[in-house]
Amino acid sequence: MRFQLLGPLSIAHGPETVVLKPSKPTSLLAALLLHPGVVVSTTYLVSAVWDEEPPATARAALQTCVLRLRRLFTKYGISTTTIEAVPGGYRMHNDAETLDLVLFRALTSRATAAGGPGEELYRLREALSLWHGPPLANVASRMLRRDAVPSLEQERLRVLERVCDLELAAGNCHQVLVDLYDGARRHPVRERFTEQLIEALYRTGRQAEALAEYRTVRDRLRDELGVDPGAGLRRLELAILRAEEIGGPQAPAVGPAARPAVGPAPGPAAVPTAAPVVTPAAQSPAGPDLPRTGAAPGALPAPSARPAEPAADSGWRGVPRKGSGRPGLAPVPGFAGREGDRGAIAARLTSADGPRLVVVSGAPGIGKSALAHQCAYEVRGEFPGGVFTLALARPNGSPLTLDEARELLPGPGDGDGRRLLVLDDAAGAGQVLPLLPAAEDAAVLVTSRRGLAAVVATHGGAVHRLDVLGPDEAYALLAGLVGADRIAAEAQAAAELAGVCGHFPLALRIAAGRLLTRPGLSVADCTAWLAEEPPARLALAEDPRLSVPEVFGRAVGALSPELREVFLRLGALGPRAPLTDAGSETELEQLVEAGMLEDGPPGKPRYRLHSFLLGYARWLARGPLPAAAAPVAR
């Protein structure tokens, strides 16, 4: 028996497949299956079943829907305990044998860890074979069709793009033309399919058709969106006009090769090009390289060691490599403000008294990594031995083990003279303390949501707890990213946009990304759209690290179940209720340590919650809680 979500919601029972009729129990089942193994709140389920018009007896009616599903399960030999009632909601435990969505994600994860392109292609083709039509086609819930279907479709399209990349790299251009025609026609603004189609046509000797495809998409983008084709398409057109060779079997990667990973919104990862050929998507918004390893399915490999480069998120996720980090070090794009913190950190790190330790802590998305990287860039001349950066978390947020981190630390011979070591995104003191002896005479700059009191208590040093940006700093960040003239033309709207973003650097960078990719969008219209539901809409599909739900969700998932409940209660408090009503002093102190709550200023209430985090807590209470994060590996 298997539930099937990747098409009309159905139950496969032996040789028989039963497509469920649109009904309220069907909507309930879909909402549970979309979150396998996760407690789905009653509030979320009520919204999924009745959309915006729940009856006064919605909770009792929801129990009736559960009973109807259990009776249906009995008919097909499914245990009635498959739906588990738990405090606050319901949960279904599904695995790869009982739910096609879990199997699809497992196969894409195995493909990522495959030993070669042939095996990867086989796994991805197997994953795509699970799709049998538009997802949730028979589910009446408007909410699920609005919120869940686009995300599922994005997962499928990422896999299909990667399949086409692999086929093109192997020289199988004819074999993927049908897929590419379909992808380019159905998703005309998804430029990667058009790039692949043009490349396939050109490499099969159909130069005129390839140029016609380019001009068709160019005209559509200009007429409908007021923008020109991306850099990848423009380079591809130029290569065709020059009759240059593009790709071929000797070039194992012909584009961004977005490797799909387990999860609803995996970040793409670029595969390096092995030959100096035209790679149309070289400028695609790809994430850090994920090297092939023998990792178990579902696990992401540890970052390779290399000099750090800035990434366009709330801060910066460096990817370390042994050796001097100075050649690859660059300022953070659009960095603004934090002058006081930057000066104090620089003075501490460069003090003549000897090695210094500085911890930068604060809420998720508040700009810790960006500040650390900018400081490292500004003081790089004081460290003749080099600046080294070690990202202590993988791209999916899981922490490195201590053995992995030790392996990536620079050795004694890596650089002559005093060195600066940046330990980015530490999960806790237990991950940092064992690494400090190996730092020897290096100055150390650590970023973490946690205050790392145990680190500074045993090794000394300073802690900089970051607050949100000031209004002028937030305005300057938007101007530096979007362009001073465009922001100045709508200065009041820009100030309102900063307020919608809670003056959080992560949210501001996401909003800037939206404006940059839509030159015709006014700042005022962008602000109005985001203001309707900031926590949900502040996300860029290309990278989960540029997503408020993803970044904040990981932070909440790292909390214990008890602290997650306290965090939700904080969001449910009335506007004048003291935060101490949400939990005990011990629990609130633990939330402060985890970066989800702040100490109040002297003479004020003891605790305070950033308004943007408060909005997220209220939004989160309407849906399923983020899954618990894995413990810090040792």
Q: Which amino acid is at 145?
A: R
CB of 89 closer than 8 Å to CB of 44: yes
- In this structure, of 115-129, 265-279, 492-506, 590-604, the range with the lowest mean pLDDT score is 265-279
Q: Which amino acid is at 277?
A: V
CB of 492 closer than 8 Å to CB of 500: no
Residues 6+ apart with CB under 8 A from 315: 332, 367, 368, 369, 370, 371, 372, 373, 447, 505, 506
Measured between alpha carbons, how far is 603 from 135 in angstroms, rounded to an integer? 55
Phi, psi for 18 (deg, rounded to 5): -105, 115
Measured between alpha carbons, how far is 242 from 112 in angstroms, rounded to an integer? 35
Measured between alpha carbons, how far is 135 from 528 in angstroms, rounded to an integer? 30
Measured N-to-C along each axis, helices 491-500 and 505-516 cross at an angle, to the nearest 10 degrees, of 130
pLDDT score, position 118: 87
DSSP letters spanning 418-457: --EEEEEEE--HHHHGGGGGGGTT-EEEEEESS--HHHHH
For residue 483, is pLDDT > 50? yes
- In this structure, of 139-143, 299-303, 358-362, the range with the lowest mean pLDDT score is 299-303
- Angle at alpha carbon of residue 172, lines to 170 and 176, rounded to 5°: 125
DSSP letters spanning 561-604: HHHHHHHHHHHHS-TTS-GGGSS-HHHHHHHHHTTSSEEPPTTS
Q: Where are the beta strands (DSSP E) in 147-194?
A: none
Question: Minimal CA–CA distance to 96: which of 83, 86, 110?
Answer: 110
Calculate mean pLDDT across residues 593-608.
82
Radius of gyration of the chain (CA): 25
Measured between alpha carbons, how far is 143 from 379 in angstroms, rounded to an integer? 50
CB of 78 closer than 8 Å to CB of 87: no
Measured between alpha carbons, how far is 535 from 547 in angstroms, rounded to an integer? 9
Q: Which amino acid is at 317?
A: R
- The Cα-based distances of 451 to 186, 230, 357 in angstroms read 49, 42, 13
For residue 541, is pLDDT > 80? no
pLDDT score, position 413: 58
- Coil, strand or helix: which one is 321? coil
CB of 65 closer than 8 Å to CB of 25: yes
The whole-chain average pLDDT of the chain stands at 80
pLDDT score, position 602: 66
For residue 293, is pLDDT > 80? no
pLDDT score, position 359: 94
pLDDT score, position 496: 95
pLDDT score, position 305: 35
- Coil, strand or helix: which one is 466? coil
Residues 6+ apart with CB under 8 A from 522: 490, 493
For residue 254, is pLDDT > 70? no
Please tell me the total number of residues recorded for the chain in this structure.
634
pTM of the model: 0.53
- Coil, strand or helix: which one is 90? strand
Give tens-digit pLDDT for 185-205. Answer: 888 878 888 999 999 998 888
pLDDT score, position 444: 93
